[in-house]
Chains A and B, each alone.
Chain A
Amino acid sequence: MSAAAPDPLLSVRDIAVQFGGIKALDGISFDMKQGQILGLIGPNGAGKTTLFNCLSRLYTPSSGDILFKGSTLLDRPAHRIAEAGIGRTFQNLATFKNLTVRDNIRIGAHSASSSDMASDALRLPWVGRNEARIDEIVDELIDYLEIGAVADMPVAGLPFGTLKRVELARALASQPTLLLLDEPAGGLNHDEITELGERIKKIRDERNVTVLLVEHHMNLVMAISDVVVVLNFGRKISEGTPEAVQADPEVIRAYLGDAA
């Protein structure tokens, strides 16, 4: 599978997004190789979530292009991004709150399965097979992310950390090649963050998933990323290995300026 995929897996080329007068993204370019974990960091408001929303086609950049497996994502509507092989989680949880954990994850498998309303309503024979396949994917993920104890509970009312795992399971249910994680460590405690880092690496290694990680938690990003891209005010100010980026005076200035 990895042999057939063209290199780079993802290529962001000079994209720009404006909101009114604000340039949320201003000519961002970078590439991602298959199997990488790329950490995307930057102070609040730097444009990280906006970039994610371009990749999942919730926003359309005003210029530039995004290539995934060699072809542009810009002629795909948002609902055909999952089937292209890109899964995501959201910075502020975006679960389906009236549904159970299991159903949330099942919806993650929407693009990995097919059916239509009429066949579903009449329970035609292939519907059962389709549902069984979805359940196979879902059961495996419930085990993998250790959320069996809450699987049949409604999502509303579950603890934040659990919901983050539910979202991760939901994103993996589409069986993505590229996983976009928007601040997965937000709201987690120290031990949970260490566990999360291990889990992300495990997902990359065992499931052959490339990971684009937006995170505020520097230790986590530096510990697991192969490459780090730094944004500030919608511009890319640095790119390189974690060590190189940490030593970059431009990055230090951006962060110290932010803290001051």
Chain B
Amino acid sequence: MTVQQEEVSAVEARQEQQARSVSAATISSLVVLAALVLCPFFISGFQTFQLNLMLIYAIAIMGLNLLTGFNGQFSLGHGAFYAIGAYTAAILIDTFGVSYVWTLPAAGVICFVSGFLFGLPALRLEGVYLALATFALAVATPQMLKLSILEHWTGGVQGIVIRKPKAPFDLPLSQDQWLYFFTLFVGLLLYWAARNMVKSRSGRAIMAIRDNPLAARSMGVNVALYKSLTFGVSALFTGIAGALGAIVIQFVAPDSFTFVLSVALLVGLVVGGVGWLPGAIVGGAFIVFVPNIAEEISKGLSGAMYGLMLILLIYVMPTGAGGLIRTVTDRLTRR
């Protein structure tokens, strides 16, 4: 074979392999989607509620992934944006009687603005310094929520209790089922938007900044603007998750949003796969189910069990579920 022929056949082999892995990806996403849609009809109300929480954390992780995985900015403080979203929803419902549906866009806008504004000074910080600044945000949040001047809206230490919405249009769904499908719909919508963004001009600009900020700048990318915008969009996702969380749990209180939440989101991100959007589901499942499993194994040592499982997981799949799946599909399609 001449060099050119070889090149052509290499291209063809690669295209074929790509086509195969694309169809494999489509099939597996359809299977996952079908499972997500059917599950609530076969499990208890409480399990549906847990599955709902999994989706909600997945949305929050997706937001964190846009910032950390795709843009390379660390956040140890995304629990703060989750909290802002949750309180936005709770206050709008409780004080202003707004329908829960409309609290989501409101939480999104408020969190986008907060994230963007936080992102501006954060531009001067990188790596561990940014991690520290966001850590401070996470630590400050529960205390801010307890402040007595805000008590009129936030309910202080007591928090806010809200009522669980019913399924509309007389749909034959329980409240848990209805809320689950509501979250699933919102989650799919946000996933669609995140995917669109990542696969377009602005998404590429964001990833270029992560890989080489100087070169990105020389290619015409306004690095400061894109970094702050990404902070805003990331906070928007996580804030909408927070609002959903408030609606589903029917309760917000300052101590639900401690630093532990921020760390949990980060753990979920790493477990699901940094820079891989569908990994968020795996991360969400980890946040919701693994602490329970740890508790079942040993009541007294649940913390240690959780840690052990985390270490095992990272050992088995050092690049998260995303990396593992990629390796496996590569092996399967490259025959």
List chain A positions with a Cβ less than 8 A from chain B: 56, 58, 77-83, 88, 90, 94-99, 103, 106-108, 110-111, 113, 115-117, 120-123, 127, 130-131, 134, 148-149, 152-153, 170, 174
Please, which residues of chain B bring their CB within 8 A of the CB of A82? 218-220
Check: B158 CB closer than 8 A to any chain A CB. no
A59 to chain B, nearest CB (A): 11
- B204 touching A107 by the CB < 8 A rule? yes
Please, which residues of chain B bring their CB within 8 A of the CB of A96? 207-208, 211-212, 215-216
CB under 8 Å from chain A, chain B span 193-223: 193-194, 196-197, 200-205, 207-208, 210-212, 214-223
Task: List the A residue with the shortest CB-CB distance to B233.
Answer: A117
- Asked if A99 meets B201 with Cβ closer than 8 Å, knowing A94-B214, A110-B219, A170-B219, the reply is no
- Asked if A117 meets B214 with Cβ closer than 8 Å, knowing A82-B219, A83-B220, A106-B204, the reply is no
- A110 touching B200 by the CB < 8 A rule? no
Task: List the A residue with the shortest CB-CB distance to B210.
Answer: A98
- A121 touching B193 by the CB < 8 A rule? yes
Please, which residues of chain A bring their CB within 8 A of the CB of B220? 79-83, 110-111, 174
How far is A48 from B10 in the complex, measured between Cα atoms in Å? 40
Check: B229 CB closer than 8 A to any chain A CB. yes
- A121 touching B212 by the CB < 8 A rule? no
Check: B284 CB closer than 8 A to any chain A CB. no
- Asked if A152 meets B18 with Cβ closer than 8 Å, knowing A58-B217, A82-B220, A88-B218, the reply is yes
CB under 8 Å from chain A, chain B span 221-263: 221-223, 229, 233
- A97 touching B196 by the CB < 8 A rule? no
- Asked if A107 meets B205 with Cβ closer than 8 Å, knowing A99-B211, A149-B11, the reply is yes
- B217 touching A78 by the CB < 8 A rule? yes
Task: List the B residue with the shortest CB-CB distance to A173.
Answer: B219
List chain B positions with a Cβ less than 8 A from chain A: 7, 10-11, 14, 18, 193-194, 196-197, 200-205, 207-208, 210-212, 214-223, 229, 233, 275
How far is A134 from B204 in the complex, measured between Cα atoms in Å? 12
How far is A121 from B112 in the complex, measured between Cα atoms in Å? 14
B226 to chain A, nearest CB (A): 8
Chain A contact residues, majority secondary structure: helix
- B211 touching A130 by the CB < 8 A rule? no
Please, which residues of chain B bring their CB within 8 A of the CB of A174? 219-220
- Asked if A110 meets B221 with Cβ closer than 8 Å, knowing A99-B208, A123-B196, the reply is yes
Contacts A110-B208, A149-B10 aside, 5 further interface pairs with beta carbons under 8 A come to A97-B211, A98-B211, A121-B196, A127-B200, A174-B220
A85 to chain B, nearest CB (A): 11
Q: What are 12 A-B residue pairs whose CB atoms fall within 8 Å in the complex?
A: A56-B218, A58-B218, A90-B215, A94-B212, A98-B210, A99-B208, A103-B207, A107-B208, A115-B202, A122-B196, A130-B201, A149-B11
Please, which residues of chain B bring their CB within 8 A of the CB of A88? 218
A230 to chain B, nearest CB (A): 26
Most buried by B among A80, A90, A94, A122: A94
B204's partner among A83, A99, A123 (CB-CB below 8 A) is A99
Please, which residues of chain A bring their CB within 8 A of the CB of B201? 106, 110, 113, 115, 120, 127, 130-131, 134
How far is A115 from B222 in the complex, measured between Cα atoms in Å? 13
- A148 touching B218 by the CB < 8 A rule? no
Please, which residues of chain A bring their CB within 8 A of the CB of B223? 79
How far is A96 from B194 in the complex, measured between Cα atoms in Å? 21
Task: List the A residue with the shortest CB-CB distance to B18.
Answer: A152
How far is A211 from B124 in the complex, measured between Cα atoms in Å? 35
- A115 touching B200 by the CB < 8 A rule? yes
Task: List the B residue with the shortest CB-CB distance to A81.
Answer: B218
Please, which residues of chain B bring their CB within 8 A of the CB of A115? 200-202
Task: List the A residue with the shortest CB-CB distance to B224.
Answer: A79
Please, which residues of chain B bring their CB within 8 A of the CB of A131? 200-201
- B202 touching A117 by the CB < 8 A rule? yes
A48 to chain B, nearest CB (A): 16
Most buried by B among A81, A103, A121, A134: A121
B277 to chain A, nearest CB (A): 13
- A94 touching B215 by the CB < 8 A rule? yes
Task: List the B residue with the shortest CB-CB distance to A96.
Answer: B211
Please, which residues of chain B bring their CB within 8 A of the CB of A78? 217-218
Please, which residues of chain A bring their CB within 8 A of the CB of B218? 56, 58, 78-79, 81-82, 88, 94
B248 to chain A, nearest CB (A): 25
A27 to chain B, nearest CB (A): 25
Please, which residues of chain B bring their CB within 8 A of the CB of A110? 201, 204-205, 208, 219-221
A122's partner among B193, B204, B219 (CB-CB below 8 A) is B193
Please, which residues of chain A bring their CB within 8 A of the CB of B221? 79, 107, 110
A107's partner among B7, B18, B194, B219 (CB-CB below 8 A) is B219
- Asked if A79 meets B7 with Cβ closer than 8 Å, knowing A96-B208, A121-B196, the reply is no
